[in-house]
Amino acid sequence: MDNVLVLVRHGQSEWNLQNLFTGWRDPDLTEKGVAEAKQAGELLKSEGFHFDIAFTSVLHRAQRTLDLMLEKLGQTGLEIISDKALNERHYGDLCGLNKDDARKKWGDEQVHLWRRSYDVPPPGGESLKDTAERVLPYYKENIWPKIKAGQNVLVAAHGNSIRALVMHLEQLSPAEIVSREIATGVPIIYNLTKDGEFAKKRLLAA
């Protein structure tokens, strides 16, 4: 299994559970999140995956998810590169707010626009377009060359940084990507061609 890219959104975080806008804040995983990360590692191991390098963000929930997966894979000595380019979308003034409270303050329509539009950022924060503009150059300069060289790469990141990668790999439109849900702890497996296009994709769910 060469030229494989596996993307995994971190397991459920404490703020996911509390329905809070998280962004670049740094909560830990819940017990469920830990279980999701371990299960992802077990599923990858059961399919015989062996990785050459891993990438993650600088946020604890993604790093811990990666560590738990590698533990289950028996690859705890793998080279890991962490970079803020893979961080979650920055929600600006919304960070730390309950989503229901945000709707009461700004209205359902405005909060929905911030959450689900492609290029409208919340106050002081990033849109998905902004997020893609830091994720994709990093992918092209640092991750893709590893895959092109025949290495298998594991990326543990966040809902919106992964959306940016999925949009690029599957050549989706802004309208298509904002409606794409990225489940916590579910590996997305891409087999890529020498040109960086995906030849095959599947989800590895229990």
Per DSSP, the chain holds a count of helices (H) and strands (E) of 9, 6
Residue 116 near residue 178, CB atoms below 8 Å = yes
The answer for residues whose C-beta is within 8 angstroms of residue 161's C-beta and 6 or more apart is 57, 86, 87, 88, 89, 131, 135
| Integer CA distances (angstroms), 33 to 22, 69, 121, 134, in order | 15, 12, 28, 26
State how far the Cα of 188 lies from the Cα of 132, in Å rounded to an integer: 18
| Enzyme catalytic residues | 10, 88
**112's tokens:** 């929905």
Residue 152 near residue 51, CB atoms below 8 Å = yes
Collapse the DSSP code of 21 into the 3-class scheme (helix H, G, I; strand E, B; otherwise coil) and give the result. coil
State how far the Cα of 123 lies from the Cα of 102, in Å rounded to an integer: 12
Q: Which residues of 118-128 are buried (b: 16+ CB within 10 A; e: fewer)?
A: beebbeebbbb
